[in-house]
Structure formats: structure tokens, C-alpha cells
Amino acid sequence: MEIVNISTLFKTLNPVNGCTAGCTYCYAKKINDRFKITPSFEVPEFFEQRLTQIKNGKPQKYFMTSMSDFSDWENEWRSKVFNHISQFSKHDYLFLTKFPEKFKFETELNNVWIGATITAKNDVRRINFLRNNVKAKKYFLTFEPLFSDLGELDLTSINWIVIGTETGNRKGKITAEKDWVLNIVKQAKKSNIPVFMKDSLLPIVGEANMLQQLPF
């Protein structure tokens, strides 16, 4: 099979830059510090003018939080972003958070996907927080970087799953194990949930086990 880099499937549009999570493996902070986008990555800032990048034309898939966490967004920012994207219904918009327990949000837009990141067993509780605190038409989960086996998962109402391992050369980097990945895949298949494995998993799971399924 032809292995696809997921970044080629999405346009990144970051109306907010900055995140308070402080993850040791954070690629976004490195980008911010390198290009001096904001003085402090730990202080999220809103760039409303970036929304003008959304145009009519062929349908696109926009990842809206590659440089932020949706939980850090102020309510005013969310209102402005969602008012704007509601005018461009032919596109899909994905928003991701590590902290669905920190906020409440609701949207009726059918083309909005809101997801939670799960990295280890202690994070599994985020799935319930996502369903309970965020009311959306479509949910997704990203298991990246995957740091441990996750055991049994309640995947009720989940519409898509993305799995990846930690990349880069961080001291103490944890590489996902094949069994951890296949455990998630097995449960996703049982629930008929499409799974997209990042290309970084190819040497771990092997081509025969690679899945790169899209829900749209």
C-alpha cells in the first residue's frame, strides 16, 4: 500500500497560537520559538485575521489547533471562529484538546470534528470528559504519542481514531509498541470506527497491519 503522511491531507489554520500544557515532546513550541510567532508560547494569542484564509472553492479539511489546545481558547475566540466557519459549510474543521475536563462547549455544525488526545492509560478518562463536556456531531481521538497499552476503551460515539508514535530525538523518547497499537485497532474494528495510523508506525506494525482510513 502507498503510505500517506497525514499532513498532506489537511490544511493547518491556527487562529490561536500558544498552549499552556507544557508537554516535553511539544513540536509546536519549537516552531513558535524558532520563528518567533509569539513572545511566549505559554500565553495563547488569538489571530482573527487568519480566518480570512478560508475560502469558497473545492472542499478542504482544516486542522485548526496544530499550534494550540482547544481548552485554552477563550469563549470569545470560539464564538468568532465558529461564526466564521459556519459560513463555509463545504469544508471540515478539526479541533483537538488534551483537557476536555476544563471547558464546556456545544456546536450543531455537522462539519466540525472535536477530539481528545490520549497518550497513556491515565488519559483514558478524557474520552468520557469529551462526550460529557463537549456536545458535537462528530468526535475523534488521537492516540499520539502513544506511551503505554491502554487496556479496554469505551469508544461509544467516536467517529475516527488516529494513532502515532513519538518522533524526534527527545531524551527519554518512548516508542510505541506493536501490541499497544493493535489493541486499539482491534477495539476500533469491533465498533466499525475508521483508523488512521501515522506513517511513523510503519516500522513498528509492518505494512500488513497498516491502516490509513478516513471518515470523510
Closest alpha carbon to 42 in 75, 65, 67: 67
Identify whether 3 is part of a domain: no
Residue 207 pLDDT exceeds 90:
yes
Phi/psi of residue 92, nearest 5 degrees = -105, 145
pLDDT of residue 162: 98
Tell me the three state secondary structure of residue 204. Answer: helix
Q: Starting at the earlier edge strand, list the strands of the sheet with 92-97.
A: 11-12, 61-63, 92-97, 112-117, 138-143, 158-163, 195-197
pLDDT of residue 172: 81
pTM: 0.96
Q: Which domain holds residue 149?
A: 8-209
Identify whether 34 is part of a domain: yes
Torsion sign across C-alpha atoms 119, 182, 170, 172: positive
Q: How confident is the model at residue 34 (pLDDT cuts 50, 70, 90)?
A: very high
Q: How confident is the model at residue 11 (pLDDT cuts 50, 70, 90)?
A: very high
At residue 179, what is the residue type? Answer: D
All three cell numbers of 166: 513519538
Read off the pLDDT of residues 46-95 as tens digits, 9 standing for 90 and up: 999 999 999 999 999 999 999 999 999 999 999 999 999 999 999 999 99
Residues of the chain with pLDDT > 90: what percent?
A: 94
Taking the C-alpha atoms of residue 99 and residue 71, their distance in angstroms, rounded to an integer, is 6
pLDDT of residue 169: 80
pLDDT of residue 148: 97
Identify whether 86 is part of a domain: yes
Residue 1 pLDDT exceeds 90:
no
- Number of structural domains the chain divides into: 1
pLDDT of residue 213: 98
Question: How high is the mean pLDDT of the chain?
Answer: 96
Q: How confident is the model at residue 177 (pLDDT cuts 50, 70, 90)?
A: very high
pLDDT of residue 135: 98
All three cell numbers of 114: 472535536
Q: Residue 96 CB: number of other CB atoms within 10 A?
A: 22
Taking the C-alpha atoms of residue 97 and residue 174, their distance in angstroms, rounded to an integer, is 21
Identify whether 216 is part of a domain: no
Identify whether 144 is part of a domain: yes
Taking the C-alpha atoms of residue 174 and residue 144, their distance in angstroms, rounded to an integer, is 11
pLDDT of residue 128: 98
Taking the C-alpha atoms of residue 214 and residue 94, their distance in angstroms, rounded to an integer, is 13
pLDDT of residue 168: 80
pLDDT of residue 160: 98
Residue with cell 480566518: 51
Identify whether 215 is part of a domain: no
